[in-house]
Structure 1
Amino acid sequence: MTVDVEDYFHVSAFEKQFSRDDWDKIPHRVEKNTYRLLDLFDENNCKSTFFILGVVGEKYPQLLKDIHNRGHEVASHGYAHRRATTQTREIFKADVERSKKHIEDTIGASVLGYRAPSFSIDESNEWAFEVLTELGFLYSSSTYPVKHDLYGTPHWPRFKYQRSEGITEIPVPTLKLAGKQLPIGGGGYFRLYPTFLAHALVDKYHEKEQKPYSFYFHPWEIDPKQPRVEDAPFKSKFRHYLNLDKMESRLATLLKRYHWSTMKDVYQIK
């Protein structure tokens, strides 16, 4: 189980509507939503990996401590939610290093994992894996082997593998059916699929692949009362707001249906 800890106005789909210079002026909802998730996880005996956005971690250091103290893994989602494909190597390194150092200083433990915003490591910036290795990360979960208009590495490996740069990459799960790779790793797709279909796809994945499965989502996805961004493109609004009012109950059902733990434990990262 993984959670990308960011607020609704941090998402890439709304980057033209919210300037980073204004982020501090916007009422934040991520802290409350993340504590709700922690309680939900406790209720269902679930351990998770929380990929923390640096700007969130700096604003809410106690939240990081509480996530760690409640037995979850704290990992990095970078600092300012800039897609890695838009950064130079030097800017990327500074962004990720700032996030990693703050998390480690706050919780007093090493950060092993990283996830790029919007799964933004691909053929154009494979140097990012070299940077992550230099910074001491042991694994990344930054690729999604599907075709998508905002991200995707459909021809890259679908399962955990060791990169030549020295880091382990754990792609978001896909299910290969009729020659196509279906996205089944969570997020907006989980809200789009009917619950029975989402469960059936995960069951099929386990039956067919005999591999660990990982799920991702964001705290804002259990927050149907979040402010609406009316001037965003229709596609972005559809993806973002679809079935938010159903997400928490669907998530609770998912937590009860399977056994969940952290990335480092499930994928045996050492």
Structure 2
Amino acid sequence: MILLTFNILDIEAKAKNSAQISDDDRLKITVDNTKAILRILDIHDTKATFFIEVSIVEKLHNLIKAISGRGHEIAFYNKNSSLHEIEEVKKNIQECFGKQIRGIRQKDLKLPQESLKLLEFNYVSNIDNANILFPFKRLKRDTEITEEDGLSIVPESISPYSQLPYNDFVFQILPMKYYQNMVFETLKNDEFVLIYLNSWQFTDFKTYPFDIPFYRSFSSGKKMEDKLNDLLTWINEKEMATSRMKDYIF
């Protein structure tokens, strides 16, 4: 099974040469990038899980409606929000859209699992930092879903052969043929492959003067759209199964 997921969050990078990029502009970039992702998923009739950063959820009601209306799962990505803030946003979104938010993803700040369970989350999908040296620091680890404190803990996927993780950076830099082989070989060994990408990777950095490392601008923007399209085309040609996170876990 392939679990395709997207982290919907504003790009944090500063602007180059004293240029100004407002919070509203950053949010618009996030919305436009997410709409590009949705168009590609629509073409391939593929469902995914969208982890939306908690601090911008309330500003994205129209986008959430578009995501949910296409049959995708809405989950939360917590960057630095408190338990109280998460609880309030979760309550508001569930009341507004009539759908339970089951999953949460964390990276730098990891809140206690027992507290997340009290907020009625059903699963946690934590991820690690990804940079240019990150793939070389990985060690083999368990890739099976476990139950802890009443929550399903979904680990990051890692290739049992190359030892490369399936994070946003690896997808961006690897040639698609190599990445496809990695997915194919991993599914021979593991029950699922969890793939995640960030919405900001679909930004056209020639249009928006963000100050980001060269290796992060590589294959970004339209090239990322093409890469995602190529991956989904290959998945469908090989008749590989895909699933939203909540459907697979429960």
TM-score by length of 1: 0.76
1:141 alignment counterpart: 125
Q: Does 1:159 align with 2:144?
A: yes
Structure 2 CA distance for partners of 1:47 and 1:128, relative to 1, 3 Å: same
Q: What aligned pairs does 1:210-221 form with structure 2 within 5 A after superposition?
A: 210-221=190-201
Q: Is the 8 A contact 1:113 1:137 kept in 2?
A: yes
Q: Find the partner of 2:6 among 3, 6, 22.
A: 3
Residues of 2 paired with 1:106 and 1:250: CA distance? Answer: 34
Q: CA RMSD in A?
A: 3.0
Q: Is the 8 A contact 1:64 1:103 kept in 2?
A: no
Code of the residue aligned with 2:176 in structure 1: it is T
- Could you list the per-position Cα deviations for residues 28-81 of structure 1 after superposition, in whole angstroms to 9, with x for gaps in the alignment? 311122122112111101001011112332112111112111111001113xx3
Structure 2: which 5+ runs fail to align?
17-21, 236-240
Q: Find the partner of 2:91 among 71, 77, 101.
A: 101
Structure 1: which 5+ runs fail to align?
83-90, 231-235
1:260 alignment counterpart: 242
Residues of 1 paired with 2:43 and 2:169: CA distance? Answer: 24
Residues of 1 paired with 2:139 and 2:115: CA distance? Answer: 23
Q: Is the 8 A contact 2:105 2:126 kept in 1?
A: yes
Q: Is the 8 A contact 1:52 1:75 kept in 2?
A: yes
1:223 alignment counterpart: 203
Q: Is the 8 A contact 1:53 1:99 kept in 2?
A: no
Would you tell me which structure has more strand in proportion to its own residues? 2
Code of the residue aligned with 1:4 in structure 2: it is N
Q: Find the partner of 1:120 among 98, 105, 108.
A: 108
- Could you list the per-position Cα deviations for residues 83-109 of structure 1 after superposition, in whole angstroms to 9, with x for gaps in the alignment? xxxxxxxx6312432332232133211
Residues of 2 paired with 1:103 and 1:153: CA distance? Answer: 36
Residues of 2 paired with 1:33 and 1:145: CA distance? Answer: 21
1:56 alignment counterpart: 56
- Could you list the per-position Cα deviations for residues 128-165 of structure 1 after superposition, in whole angstroms to 9, with x for gaps in the alignment? 211111111100111459999789995763221111x1
Structure 2 CA distance for partners of 1:181 and 1:98, relative to 1, 3 Å: farther
2:159 alignment counterpart: 175
Residues of 2 paired with 1:227 and 1:38: CA distance? Answer: 21
Q: Is the 8 A contact 2:7 2:51 kept in 1?
A: yes
Structure 2 CA distance for partners of 1:93 and 1:16, relative to 1, 3 Å: farther
Give the secondary structure class of the aligned counterpart of 1:57. Answer: helix
Residues of 2 paired with 1:16 and 1:2: CA distance? Answer: 28
TM-score by length of 2: 0.81
Structure 2 CA distance for partners of 1:101 and 1:155, relative to 1, 3 Å: farther
Q: Give the C-alpha shift of residue 120 in structure 1.
A: 3.0
Q: Is the 8 A contact 1:187 1:218 kept in 2?
A: yes
Q: Is the 8 A contact 1:186 1:217 kept in 2?
A: yes
